[in-house]
Structure 1
Amino acid sequence: MSARADGGRPELVVVCGLPGVGKTTVAETIRERVDGDPDLLRTDIVRGDVVDDPDYTEAELRRVYDELFSRAATRLARGESVVVDGTFKRAMHRERARDLAADHDARFRLVRVECDEDVVRERIAARTDDASDADFDVYKLYKEEFEPIEDSCTVIDNSGSTAQTRERVIDALY
């Protein structure tokens, strides 16, 4: 990936939400529209790179997010935009992302993806070829642990079809 062709400020977009809500669908739609052909960094992929057999412990969470932020910082330092896809269930991770963007004079956007629980259950059960190994028990655990978002964010409902979600993203952000 090369630096932004227009020479403008890079952008860091954080796409957050519970497992199975469709963060990656939203993140990919955003990635297609952010200037500079940004990378999409997914915690699911990073987790696979740094943890052999995930248990979703706090220690794992720290390792995954440390690596995610390291990768994002490298790209932002080169003037490249980045879209990150992860639960970001902890407010400190969302704040860390905001600070990272500020440190690199990058525009910051936070997007929360939501979805009806019945749809999440169906989607998780239907997963066959996905980097995420979070099951419905992880969804329920993270639902209890997800810290409220107190700063501004864009909320995308991904309970419908992929086409509907893509349209919602475009309407809300572009």
Structure 2
Amino acid sequence: MIVVLIGLSGSGKSFVANILHREFGFEWIRSDQIRKEMAGIEPTQKVKVGFSEGIYSEEWTRRVYERMLDLAEEKLKEGKNVVLDATFLRAWQREKVKERFPSAVFIWVIAKEEEIIKRLSSRQDISDAGVETYLRQKEIFEPPEGVPTLDTSENEHKVKEKLKELLNL
């Protein structure tokens, strides 16, 4: 099974991916980690560039997402379940997944804006996204249609129960 988490920075995608990894054995493929590996940057090193610039440009994002899909394919061939942790803000990004993995399960991860801003303001994480990035993402986000949502404003137990329901785990 391949699960694709869609959502703005700070929505809780990595929180959900971590639950799938820790509780259900999913291989966790994270765009933040892949991007920094490809750039030869330590995962904990912060990258300060403008929105959609440098290693966050459209071209870099295309390459990162392709790498994520290649890794997912390898893991699936090994018989493992995979969770893709990236924003997938644009429809073309989600279409790339559907082309390679027609049975992929998409989940739109959401949270209340106050919660997202609070998370991003105090984030100690591999991600470079802050509040400004979140606000810019909101402007360009192409919301998915017909995709179930998962609200991470809930506690971990409720999120885990919702995942079990959505994925028949």
- TM-score exceeds 0.5: yes
The one-letter amino acid of 1:99's match is: E
Contact 1:29 1:169 in 2 (8 A): no
Tell me the secondary structure at the aligned position of residue 18 of structure 1. coil
Tell me the secondary structure at the aligned position of residue 93 of structure 1. helix
Contact 2:3 2:84 in 1 (8 A): yes
Contact 1:111 1:154 in 2 (8 A): yes
**Aligned: 1:146 with 2:136:** no
Q: Work out the number of aligned pairs and report it.
A: 156
Q: Deviations over 1:47-98 (max 9, x none)?
A: 1111344642212211211211111122223333211111001111111112
**2:150 corresponds to which of 138, 142, 156:** 156
The RMSD of aligned alpha carbons is 2.0
**2:2 corresponds to which of 12, 16, 21:** 12
* Identity rate, percent: 31
Quote the Cα distance in structure 2 between the aligned partners of 1:89 and 1:108.
16
**1:47 corresponds to which of 24, 35, 53:** 35
Structure 1: state its 5+ residue gaps. Answer: 1-10
Q: Deviations over 1:20-71 (max 9, x none)?
A: 011111122234565xx33110111111111344642212211211211111
TM-score (norm 2): 0.82
Contact 2:20 2:26 in 1 (8 A): no
Quote the Cα distance in structure 2 between the aligned partners of 1:163 and 1:140.
29
TM-score (norm 1): 0.80
Map 1:1-174 → 2, pairs under 5 A: 11-32=1-22, 34=24, 37-51=25-39, 52=41, 53=47, 55=53, 56-102=56-102, 107-128=103-124, 130-150=125-145, 152-174=146-168
Structure 2: state its 5+ residue gaps. Answer: 42-46
Quote the Cα distance in structure 2 between the aligned partners of 1:31 and 1:100.
22
